[in-house]
Homo-oligomer: A and B are copies of this chain.
Amino acid sequence: MSDLAAALDTVGARWALLVVERLLDGPQRYGDLQRDLGVPTNVLATRLRELEAAGVLTRLPLRHNTRAYALTDRGLALREAIVALARWGAEQT
């Protein structure tokens, strides 16, 4: 499997990169991600589980039933790729 295929295998699912992009601004809570992105709640829960399993993000317990999601170093390393893709998306010629 090529390197690109490997990358897409972990962050190629729908909403995955958008979640990571949102977390580039710092840790966010579940409800914030849901409202900001408009992602269906069950899909968000699935993605967060997958991205955590892939070592892209971690859960930070805040209070009782409140936690925040934060990028790991591996997650932060996606910044370049996300910026490149976003710039391409902005060039609607």
Residue positions of A touching B, CB distance < 8 A: 2-10, 12, 14, 17-18, 21, 74, 77-78, 80-82, 84-93
Chain B residues within 8 Å of A93, by CB: 74
> Which of A5, A10, A91 counts the most chain B CB atoms within 10 A?
A5
Q: A4-B18, A5-B18, A74-B93 are in contact. Are A80 and B84 (CB under 8 A)?
A: yes
Q: How far is the CA of A85 from the CA of B78 in the complex (A)?
A: 7
Q: Which residues of B contact A88 (CB under 8 A)?
A: 7, 77-78, 80-81
This protein's copies in its complex: 2
B residues near A86, Cβ cutoff 8 Å:
2-4, 7
A85's contact among B14, B74, B81, B89, by CB below 8 Å, is which?
B81
Query: How many angstroms from the CA of A20 to the CA of B21 in the assembled complex?
Result: 22
Q: Do the beta carbons of B3 and A90 come within 8 Å of each other?
A: yes
Residues from chain B with Cβ under 8 Å of A82 in the complex: 4
